[in-house]
Structure 1
Amino acid sequence: MRLVALRLSCFRNYAHAQISPSPRVNILLGANAQGKTNLLEAIYYLSAFRPLRPVREVDLIQWGAQEMRLTAQYESDGLTDDLQVRLQAHGKRTITLNEQPVARPSALVGRLSVVCFTASDLTLIRGEPADRRRFLDTEISLLSQRYLYSLAHYRRALEQRNNLLRAYLEGAATLESLPEWNAQLVKYGARLFQARRQFLERLNALAETTHRALTHSAETLQLQYLPGLPVRKPLPEKEEDWADALLSALHQSAGEELRRGTTLYGPHRDDFQILVQGYEARLFASQGQQRTCALSLRLSEVALVESIRNEPPIVLLDDVFSDLDPARRRSLVEYLTPRTQTFITCTDLSAFDEATLRDAVLFEIHSGTVSRRA
């Protein structure tokens, strides 16, 4: 996967900009608040069709403009595609692929394959279960249309079921439709459980290898899936086994759910644990170790995507060198350089060795303008 050209119009703080990046390392150099992360967000948006940061979509449009446009030319599996997104201030979005309108954007999610690391990824280590569920949902959705579809239907079933339980608690509804919502919750919940288990199993194997490479075998990393069900190990193997386990949990918790007016079991209660040297990283790892754990997860995705799609994704690294010692910085660059097209933001070049700088393309970012520097 390679981004050949990128054009931005009225996106964030960019009135107009375009770049033709290197197929290997691209360094985005500039002071804080100049637009480095915005440039990465433009690439990410063309992959996921949602903002990289938690904002409204219309906030991507430059202040005072009526619409923004993003255009990318990219190569994948020997073929070249042209992708364009137009987003108007009133919220209408138009997507074209090779000048043909795209009626169902979800079918294109992840087609431009991207793995992105930002400073906020530390919430994977330090944050709440909801942060780790969001990670699972985002990354698996980029790899599986079936998961994206099931996630949307599960969320709808969960919302309707919770509304019914609350209405019953308040004496405003009967439970006549509860079996229907149970069936929907179990059907789509089982798919999510199974997909998350498989994803974490594959990611765990890759993360262990990646983490050893980044730490020169000084540390081990493990991921453990904690499903939102009262199940013991070993975890269910098949989708129908997950369905049986969720249905059983719903039956056993029926009385408590009616008293509390909410659904107590399901993928919306999932979590996963990150262990360094056998200890929970959230509690015992240093800041540098936590940053390395988050990096290992993201870099493991590179290998996972490559194994599924037979080519590595584009890698976006935003402020990755904070809290990393020089040895881990070198390990990170060595890991990525021969494999992927990489975009790295930084405020100075001191973290890069001469060999990396010699082979990289350097773009200077200043107040929403981009210039290529020799």
Structure 2
Amino acid sequence: MHLRSIRLFNFRNHSDSSFEFSERVNCIVGENGSGKTNLLDAVYFLSLTKSSIQKQDALSISYDEELMVISGDFLEKNQPENITVSLQRGQKKNVLADKKAYDRLSDHIGKYPVVLIAPDDTDMIRDASDTRRKLFDGIISQFDPDYLLHYQHYNRLLDQRNSLLKQFYEREYFDQKMLDSYSEPLVRLAMEIAGKRKDFMMGFMPLVQSHYETISGGKETAQIIYDTEVNQNFQEVFRKNQKRDIAANRTTKGVHKDDYIFELDGQPIKKFGSQGQRKSFVLAVKLAQFDLLEKHKSKKPLLLLDDIFDKLDDQRIAKLIEKIDDETFGQVFITDARPERTKRILEKVKANVSYFEL
């Protein structure tokens, strides 16, 4: 599987740009602000129907324009397919496969799996729990469509229940049956989602540990602990917590409160990890993501490496280059502001390398 070409129309700072890619390694070089990261984001958008940068789709439309279009031609097992994503301000996003709309956008997620390694990845260690949940929910959704549907349904019910709790407070009344109509399905979905997250971590952790050991030279043992209050007794716990929810005007227990604790040798890396240990941990997580997606999808995900040569030291860069060279990865996209550095790093790579200067 690889992306043969892409065209960007009014996407961020690309008014009308077209690129034809190599099956293996593609290097996008240019000064900061030239649109390198935006090009990678367009590839990400084609795969997951959303930006890796912007939370709101409309922010990906070029300034003062009304319509943006991303069109990409994929090839898998000698079968070509065109994917087009278009968005007009104030309207619904459209995703087409060979000019045919999907019944549900979730049907596209995972069709062309992708892994992004970016400069701000260490934020997943420093930031609040929602950053880590977003990461792992995104990974699971690429190989488990049912998980994505359950998660979307859970969030809709959560918003509705929270709105109802606020309404009770503002209007000074309470309706138990109405609240139960949201609480009961919310609990069922929470238990379903938590179960899938636990199953996912059982397969994911050995991969993270293996990659971390390789990157760090076996100096420490990496661990990710899935921290949740959702268990077999959650229905009773949730019911007993109702008074607290009413007082807080929001739902205070559920999988939206889960976290993933990153540890090295039993100590939280957020508090005690060095900068190098954090970079190694994050890189191990992303490489494990690649392995897991390849296993479940039976194809190598697209690998997007955004400006990593500025952020990773020589040892970690060398590990990535080794994997590019031994064809661990499939199609790779690399951005760098320093063309001479990229060519020096990749000069020994046997694979065909294409360069694009913006």
8 Å contact 1:164–1:173 — kept in the other structure?
A: no
Change (3 A) 1:256 1:58: closer
**Structure 1 residues 195 and 336, CA gap change in structure 2 (3 angstroms):** farther
Shift of 1:76: 2.8
Unaligned 5+ segments in structure 1 are: 230-241, 366-374
Aligned residue pair count: 352
Taking the aligned partners of 1:68 and 1:261, their CA distance within structure 2 comes to 39
CA distance in 2, matches of 1:102, 1:82: 13
Aligned twin of 1:11: 11
**Structure 2 unaligned runs (5+)?**
none
Shift of 1:272: 0.7
- The two structures have a TM-score, normalised by structure 2, of 0.91
Whichever residue aligns with residue 173 of structure 1, its letter is: F
Letter in 1 for 2:180: P
2:335 maps to which of 332, 337, 345? 345
| C-alpha distance after superposition, 1:40-64 (max 9, x if no partner) | 0100101111121134312222223
RMSD of aligned Cα (Å): 2.0
Q: Deviations over 1:87-131 (max 9, x none)?
A: 223434332212223342221122121111222321211111111
1:178-216: per-residue Cα shift (whole Å, max 9, x none)? 222221111211121011112222221111111222223
- Residue 273 of structure 1 corresponds to 261
The answer (yes or no) to whether the contact 1:125–1:293 under 8 Å persists in 2 is no
Q: 1:116 to 1:323 in 2, by over 3 A?
A: closer
- Counterpart position of 1:203: 204
Change (3 A) 1:219 1:345: farther
Which one of 288, 308, 327 corresponds to residue 320 of structure 1?
308
Name the counterpart of 1:138. Answer: 138
Verify the 8 A CA contact 2:187 2:238 in the aligned structure 1.
Answer: no
SS of residue matched to 2:319: helix
TM-fit CA distance, 1:342: 0.9
Matched residue type, 2:349: T
SS in 2 for 1:356: coil
Distance 1:179 1:165 in 2: 12
| Residues 24, 342 of structure 1: 8 Å contact kept | yes
Counterpart selection for 1:255 from 243, 257, 261:
243
The answer to whether the 8 A contact 1:5-1:18 is kept is: yes
- Asked whether the equivalents of residues 77 and 311 of structure 1 are also in contact (C-alpha less than 8 Å), the reply is no
Aligned partner of residue 176 in structure 2, secondary structure:
coil
Q: Please give the residue correspondences for 1:1-374 in structure 2 after superposition, counting only pairs within 5 Å.
A: 1-170=1-170, 171-229=172-230, 242=231, 244-337=232-325, 338-339=327-328, 340-348=330-338, 349-350=340-341, 352-356=345-349, 359-365=352-358
Percent of paired sites with the same residue? 28
Query: Are 1:306 and 1:312, in contact at CA under 8 Å, matched by a contact in 2?
Result: yes
Whole-angstrom CA distance in 1 between matches of 2:27 and 2:177: 60
Q: Give structure 1 regions of 4+ aligned residues with deviation exceeding 6 angstroms.
A: none
TM-aligned CA deviation for residue 357 of structure 1: 8.4
